[in-house]
């Protein structure tokens, strides 16, 4: 199989969106069951279409942005077949000027390590994990071989943290446990695997101070700002992003549930970030993390 290699011209783009979901594949298959998708749309007030990968590439190219793209494999917890990682890698190869592929492998799968190794060979730059939706405790020792594999290959671990809109408002929250996405569960992972770069995705409400504590103590951890409009960011997150952790904060939208257009518009309106910090958040920090610069 063909291996992905980026062809992104950093001088020609204005931003790198580090958090873009592929929710529908070329055959119309969705990444999560229909009832979950419908509830998430209501929660995010996002009733628009779920674009396929080629459409997403065109969307970001039009905006002079690059995008990290991925799905979430939660096959053992939801009993729902995931979108193919290989199709995402193939699409990123077709659009290597704007797309950067991450993979997602349910860590509870019996073949998780084999699949992770195979996808690393295909050139993915990282792996997306959603502890709440995938139903696993990232601090559990049973997942150490996963982290060892990621660290050895020099690829990134991207973990959902904090509250999630997936399952919100459904009976029992669809059985999902929010506490599995407490960022403090990643502290031991960052300690034991110091060469593994870990992204803590989203403002980690209600554990924002825990995330900031981990990020200031473990310099192999990063925070992406996806999933929330900047006008709702916790004050401490804004303060740290403008100071102590400014070189490890990443622009992310959570597209298609939140668009980069809205994120940028709200950040400018609120004057969220210092002018001297903004270029790093929008592009330079991600370029360095992803090995593009």
CATH of the domain at 148: 3.20.20.140
- Residue 2 is assigned to a structural domain of this protein: no
Q: pLDDT band at residue 119, thresholds of 50, 70 and 90? A: very high
Cα separation, 245 vs 217, whole angstroms: 10
- Residue 170 is assigned to a structural domain of this protein: yes
- Residue 43 is assigned to a structural domain of this protein: yes
CB-based contact 149:105 (threshold 8 Å) = no
Per-residue pLDDT tens over the stretch 192-219: 999 999 999 999 999 999 999 999 999 9
- Residue 1 is assigned to a structural domain of this protein: no
- Residue 95 is assigned to a structural domain of this protein: yes
Work out the number of other CB atoms within 10 angstroms of the CB of residue 37.
Answer: 15
Per-residue pLDDT tens over the stretch 67-76: 999 999 999 9
- Residue 141 is assigned to a structural domain of this protein: yes
Q: Which domain holds residue 238?
A: 10-289
- Residue 4 is assigned to a structural domain of this protein: no
Cα separation, 258 vs 187, whole angstroms: 28
Work out the number of other CB atoms within 10 angstroms of the CB of residue 150.
Answer: 22
- Average confidence score pLDDT of the chain: 95
- Counting the structural domains of the chain, the total is 1
Cα separation, 46 vs 196, whole angstroms: 34
3-state secondary structure of 120: helix
3-state secondary structure of 125: coil
């Amino acid at each position: 199989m063909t291996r992905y290699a980026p062809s992104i011209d950093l001088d020609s783009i204005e931003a790198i969106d580090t958090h873009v979901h592929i929710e529908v594949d070329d055959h119309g298959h969705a990444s999560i069951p229909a009832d979950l998708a419908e509830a998430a749309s209501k929660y995010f007030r996002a009733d628009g279409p779920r674009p396929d990968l080629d459409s997403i590439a065109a969307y970001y190219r039009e905006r002079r942005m690059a995008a990290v793209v991925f799905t979430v494999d939660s096959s053992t917890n939801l009993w729902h077949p995931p979108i193919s990682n290989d199709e995402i890698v193939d699409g990123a190869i077709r659009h290597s000027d704007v797309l950067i592929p991450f993979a997602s492998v349910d860590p509870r799968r019996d073949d998780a390590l084999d699949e992770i190794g195979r996808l690393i060979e295909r050139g993915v730059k990282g792996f997306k994990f959603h502890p709440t939706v995938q139903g696993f405790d990232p601090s559990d020792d049973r997942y150490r071989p996963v982290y060892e594999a990621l660290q050895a290959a020099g690829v990134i671990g991207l973990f959902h943290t904090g509250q999630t809109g997936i399952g919100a408002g459904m009976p029992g929250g669809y059985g999902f446990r929010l506490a599995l996405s407490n960022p403090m569960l990643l502290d031991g992972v960052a300690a034991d695997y110091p060469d593994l770069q870990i992204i803590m995705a989203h403002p980690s409400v209600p554990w924002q101070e825990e995330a900031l504590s981990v990020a200031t103590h473990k310099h192999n951890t990063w925070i992406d700002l996806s999933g929330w409009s900047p006008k709702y960011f916790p004050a401490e997150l804004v303060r740290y992003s403008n100071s102590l952790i400014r070189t490890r904060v990443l622009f992310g939208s959570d597209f298609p549930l939140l668009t980069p257009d809205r994120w940028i518009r709200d950040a400018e309106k609120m004057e969220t970030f210092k002018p001297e910090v903004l270029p790093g958040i929008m592009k330079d920090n991600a370029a360095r993390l992803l090995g593009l610069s």
